[in-house]
Amino acid sequence: MNSMLILMVILLMNLLKIYFQHCAHKLTNYTSLRAKKVPWFPRFKRDLDIVANEVLDSGELEADHPGFHDKEYRLRRDKLAQVAKDYRFGDKIPAIHYEQNEIDTWNTVLDKILPLHHKYAAAEHVRLLPLFEQNCGLRKDNIPQLQDISDYLQESTGFSLRPVAGLLSTRNFLYGLAFRTFFSTQYLRHHSRPLYTPEPDLIHEICHSVLFADQAFADFSHQIGLAAIGATDEQIEQLGRCYWFTVEFGLCKQGNDVKAFGAGILSSFGELEYSMGLNPNEKPKLLRFDPFVASKQTYPITTYQPLYFVSDSFETAKEQMIEFAGTLKKPFNVRYLPYTNSIDVDSNIELEKHVFIKPQESPYAKESNKM
C-alpha cells in the first residue's frame, strides 16, 4: 500500500512538472509575441521619402559662402533644391540643364583633379573612370545626370542615387546606405572660386559615385549603413567616424603604394597632394584601418586631416565592419532583402512614431574641401 502511494505521488509530481513547463512555455511564447517598441527606422526603401527632406541647413548659405551675395546663384540653388524635395521613391531623377558658368566650373575642377586621380587614386577608381565616361557622360565638357549614374550603378552593384536638397544628419544619411542608396546633391560650387567649396557639391558626390560601381566598395559602404539600423546616438557617432575615415577620407594599400579613395580627398587637389605626403613642410600620420580605433578618433572639419587610416582592401574593410557591427548592442539583428528593398529583423518589434529632431550639428555640416 505504501509503495502504491509513493508511486502515485511521484506520478502526480511528474504531471505537475509537465503542466508547469507547459505553462512556462506558453508564457514565453506570449511574451515573445508581444511587440517591443523601438525608435523609428526605415523598413522599406520607399521610407527614405520620410527622411530625405530633413535637411539640416534648409538651403541657407553661410555669410562666408562664396555665393552668399550672388542672388542668381542663390535662386539657382533654391531651384535645384526644390527638384530634390519633389522627388519620391520610384520617380526618375529629373534631368538638370546646367548653365555655361556651371559647365565652366566643372571643367576647371576636372582639369585640375583628373591628372592627379590617374596618379594617386585607388586602382578601382582609375579603372572605373573610362566606364563612367562611356556610360554616364563623364567628360570635361559635360556634367553627368544623376539618373544616368544611378542606372549604371544599379546595373553594376545594385546601388542607386537619390537627389537631396542639402545636408542630412549622420543617422539619416547612413539609413540611405542601408538600402544601397547614396543621397546626392545636384548643385555646383560658386563659379567665383571653382577650386573651393565649403560643402559637398555635385563634383564631390560624383567622386563618391565612381567607387559605388565597385562591388567590394559598395558592399563595404552597405555594411556601415546596415549597422546604423537600430543604433543608439552614440553608436551612430561611432559609425559616422568610420564613414569619415574611409568613404570620405580613406586611403588604401595597393602593392607598395598608398592610394586615395575617399571622396573628400579625391574632390580636393590640395588634400590629395597633402594626403600623399607631397607637402615638404608637413606630413600626415597614417594608421592601418581598424574600425575599433577609427570609431573613437576625432577629426577636424575645416582643415586637412592630420591623420588618415589606410585600408588593406575594400573586402578586408567590409569584413572588419561586419565584425565591428557585431559588437554593437542593439535590440535586434538585421539583414537586407534586395528583392523587396526592405530590412528584415529577427525580433517582433513595433516602430515608434517618427519625429524629426534636428541634431545640434553633423560631422558633414561644415565640411570644407580646401583646394
Quote the pTM value: 0.87
Q: Residue 57 — pLDDT band, cuts 50, 70, 90?
A: confident
Provide mean pLDDT across the span 340-346: 95
- Rounded CA gap, 109 and 104, in Å? 9
Of the candidates 267, 275, 295, 362, the residue annotated as catalytic is 267
What's the farthest any 2 CA atoms get from each other in the chain? Answer: 107
pLDDT of 368: 42
pLDDT of 3: 66
- Rounded CA gap, 165 and 371, in Å? 24
Q: What's the sign of the alpha-carbon dihedral 277, 283, 284, 286?
A: positive
* DSSP annotation of 46: G
Domain range list for the chain? 48-370
Q: By the 8 A CB rule, do 181 and 226 touch?
A: no
Of the candidates 65, 117, 204, 222, the residue annotated as catalytic is 204
Amino acid at 290: D
| Residue range 268-277, pLDDT digits in tens | 999 999 999 9
- Rounded CA gap, 136 and 255, in Å? 30
Of the candidates 102, 208, 271, 295, the residue annotated as catalytic is 208
- 208 carries an active-site annotation: yes
- Rounded CA gap, 4 and 32, in Å? 42
Q: By the 8 A CB rule, do 219 and 197 touch?
A: no
Say if residue 20's pLDDT is above 80: no
- Rounded CA gap, 305 and 310, in Å? 13
Using the structure block, give the residue that is written with the C-alpha cell 558633414. Answer: 364
| Residue range 229-266, pLDDT digits in tens | 999 999 999 999 999 999 999 999 999 999 999 999 99
Say if residue 35's pLDDT is above 80: no
Provide mean pLDDT across the span 59-66: 84
Say if residue 24's pLDDT is above 60: no
Q: What's the sign of the alpha-carbon dihedral 148, 153, 159, 164?
A: negative
- 117 carries an active-site annotation: no
Of the candidates 54, 248, 271, 367, the residue annotated as catalytic is 248
Say if residue 4's pLDDT is above 80: no
| Residue range 150-182, pLDDT digits in tens | 999 999 999 999 999 999 999 999 999 999 999
pLDDT of 2: 61
Say if residue 27's pLDDT is above 50: no
Could you tell me which CATH number the domain at 48-370 has? 1.10.800.10
What DSSP string describes 242-297? HHIIIIIT-EEEETTEEEE--HHHHT-HHHHHHHTT--TT---EEEE--HHHHTT-
Q: Which of 306, 326, 330 is nearest to 318 (CA)?
A: 326
